[in-house]
């Protein structure tokens, strides 16, 4: 009773750090519910991932074997997981609220005909969860009623699992799929390669907004600061919509949620939708020429200045700090 299954996301055998956050949340939930926590992994490279995940304190790792799960697709994955959930009698199925987790888990919930809580940020002792609503302006305590419960966890709300003393056993399970329910086809993944840290994993995030005025300025003005600080780069929706930077850099209510040690907002006004994605950062810096900009209401340190002057200065000042 009270068992938890954590769905492990990966791409070709590599998993993001957010996966370990999901595992940690799963371990916490299982401990509170008096059950055990297993991880489940499928697809190309699953063996490598399973061997790695087995080190992080889970009771076991299940590898779902089935050639048609080679590349993740929502319909096939939901089918395979639903069968597994029924056969194991798990109480909760959990995934990190990444793009993939958000795509899959509601489909699984519907397949099992059970409710789901999205992006939980806390697990209460009484079995309820806490999740943000209204761009983080409201926290709801929710209860899921059903033989099975589905949750996604917000990556910023839990720590990553740490390696444990024992390595978990790996169990191979042949997945059963009903071919009639497999209607989706994977065509291509157009990866945006970057040498910078992952936005959701970085210790420092430097984000730019509409104030940067162009994609060229992101390159020539903001990126030197990003790199000097060893940071990940983020952006406001306005900057993404204008095509200055790729979609997956958007921080906010409807983009990525980050909580680094240091968040530097450059030329970003601080709309509630943006704040929703970064207001839990440890230290927030805002550089904006408008002293009334709402971003200053959440900033620990605010600099009222023209970014085109301040950012290059900051690059130079950073060099001095480092040497």
Partner 1 sequence: MKILVPVKRVPDPATTIRVLPDGSGIATDNVKWVINPFDEIAIEEALRIKEKQGAGQVILISIGQQAWQEQLRTGLAMGADRAILVRTETPLDPLAIARVIAKVASDEQPGLVIIGKQAIDDDSNQVGQMIAEFLGWPQATFASKLELAGEKCTVVREADGGLETVAFALPAVITTDLRLNEPRYASLPGIMKARKKPLLDITAESLGVDLAPKLKIRKLTAPAKRQAGRKVASVEELVAVLHTEAKVI
Ligand X SMILES: Cc1cc2nc3c(=O)[nH]c(=O)nc-3n(C[C@H](O)[C@H](O)[C@H](O)COP(=O)(O)OP(=O)(O)OC[C@H]3O[C@@H](n4cnc5c(N)ncnc54)[C@H](O)[C@@H]3O)c2cc1C
Contacting positions for ligand X (CB under 6 A): 209-211, 236-239, 250-255, 267-269, 271, 273-274, 277, 288-290, 293, 306-308
Q: Among partner 1, ligand X, none, what binds residue 239 when CB lies within 5 to 8 Å by partner kind?
A: ligand X
C-alpha to C-alpha distance for 257 and 22, rounded to whole angstroms: 15
> Cβ(251)–Cβ(199) under 8 Å?
yes
Q: Among partner 1, ligand X, none, what binds residue 53 when CB lies within 5 to 8 Å by partner kind?
A: none
> Cβ(228)–Cβ(316) under 8 Å?
no
CB of 275 to ligand X, least distance (A): 9
Torsional class of 230: left (φ above 0), alpha (ψ -120 to 50), beta (otherwise): left
10 Å Cβ neighbour count for 94? Answer: 27
Indicate the residue among 13 and 224 with the shorter CB distance to ligand X: 224
Q: Among partner 1, ligand X, none, what binds residue 229 when CB lies within 5 to 8 Å by partner kind?
A: partner 1
CB of 177 to partner 1, least distance (A): 13
Indicate the residue among 125 and 291 with the shorter CB distance to partner 1: 291
Q: How far is CA 199 from CA 55, 219, 262, in A?
A: 25, 17, 12
In degrees and rounded to multiples of 5, residue 282 shows phi and psi of -70, -55
Bridge partners of residue 41, in order along the sequence = 63
Instruction: Supply 44's token pair.
Output: 């190309």
Q: Among partner 1, ligand X, none, what binds residue 288 when CB lies within 5 to 8 Å by partner kind?
A: ligand X
Q: Among ligand X, partner 1, none, what binds residue 238 when CB lies within 5 to 8 Å by partner kind?
A: ligand X
DSSP 292-313: T-GGGGT-SEEEES-HHHHHHH
Question: What SS3 class is residue 101?
Answer: helix
> Cβ(65)–Cβ(173) under 8 Å?
yes
Nearest alpha carbon to residue 266 among 231, 227, 228, 236? 236
CB of 171 to partner 1, least distance (A): 26
Indicate the residue among 18 and 236 with the shorter CB distance to ligand X: 236
Q: Among ligand X, partner 1, none, what binds residue 134 when CB lies within 5 to 8 Å by partner kind?
A: partner 1
In degrees and rounded to multiples of 5, residue 48 shows phi and psi of -60, -45
Indicate the residue among 30 and 295 with the shorter CB distance to partner 1: 295
Indicate the residue among 148 and 268 with the shorter CB distance to ligand X: 268
Q: Among partner 1, ligand X, none, what binds residue 304 when CB lies within 5 to 8 Å by partner kind?
A: partner 1
Indicate the residue among 306 and 316 with the shorter CB distance to ligand X: 306
The number of CA neighbours under 13 Å toward the Cβ of 99 is 12
In degrees and rounded to multiples of 5, residue 286 shows phi and psi of -125, 135
CB of 250 to partner 1, least distance (A): 8
Q: Among ligand X, partner 1, none, what binds residue 308 when CB lies within 5 to 8 Å by partner kind?
A: ligand X
CB of 97 to partner 1, least distance (A): 8
**What residue is closest to ligand X based on CB?**
252
Indicate the residue among 19 and 207 with the shorter CB distance to ligand X: 207
CB of 297 to ligand X, least distance (A): 12
CB of 165 to ligand X, least distance (A): 41
CB of 30 to ligand X, least distance (A): 32
Question: What SS3 class is residue 227?
Answer: helix
Instruction: Supply 215's token pair.
Output: 């994609």
Residue owning tokens 């750090």:
17
Indicate the residue among 116 and 168 with the shorter CB distance to partner 1: 116
Nearest alpha carbon to residue 226 among 236, 218, 216? 218
């Amino acid at each position: 009773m009270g068992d938890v299954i954590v769905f492990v996301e990966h791409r070709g055998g590599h998993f993001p750090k957010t996966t370990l956050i999901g595992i940690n949340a799963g371990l916490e939930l299982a401990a509170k519910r008096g059950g055990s926590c297993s991880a489940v992994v499928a697809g190309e490279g699953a063996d490598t991932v399973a061997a790695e995940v087995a080190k992080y304190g889970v009771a076991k790792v299940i590898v779902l074997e089935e050639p048609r799960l080679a590349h993740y697709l929502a319909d096939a994955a939901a089918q395979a997981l639903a069968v597994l959930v029924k056969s194991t009698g798990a109480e909760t199925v959990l995934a990190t609220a990444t793009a993939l987790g958000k795509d899959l888990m509601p489909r699984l919930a519907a397949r099992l005909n059970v409710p789901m809580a999205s992006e939980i940020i806390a697990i209460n002792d009484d079995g309820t969860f806490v999740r943000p609503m209204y761009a983080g302006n409201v926290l709801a305590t929710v209860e899921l009623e059903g033989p099975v419960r589905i949750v996604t966890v917000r990556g910023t709300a839990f720590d990553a699992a740490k390696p444990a003393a024992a390595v978990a056993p790996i169990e191979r399970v042949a997945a059963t799929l009903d071919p009639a329910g497999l209607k989706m086809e994977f065509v291509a993944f157009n990866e945006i390669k970057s040498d910078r840290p992952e936005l959701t994993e970085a210790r420092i995030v430097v984000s730019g907004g509409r104030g940067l005025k162009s994609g060229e300025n992101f390159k020539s003005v903001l990126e030197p600061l990003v790199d000097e600080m060893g940071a990940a780069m983020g952006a406001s929706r306005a900057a993404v919509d204008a095509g200055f930077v790729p979609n997956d850099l958007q921080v906010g209510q409807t983009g990525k949620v980050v909580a680094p040690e240091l968040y530097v907002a450059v030329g970003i006004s601080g709309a509630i939708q943006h704040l929703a994605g970064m207001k839990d950062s440890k230290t927030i810096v805002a550089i904006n020429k408008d002293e009334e900009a709402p971003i200053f209401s959440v900033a620990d340190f605010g600099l009222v200045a023209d970014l085109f002057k301040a950012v290059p200065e900051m690059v130079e000042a950073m060099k001095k700090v480092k040497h």
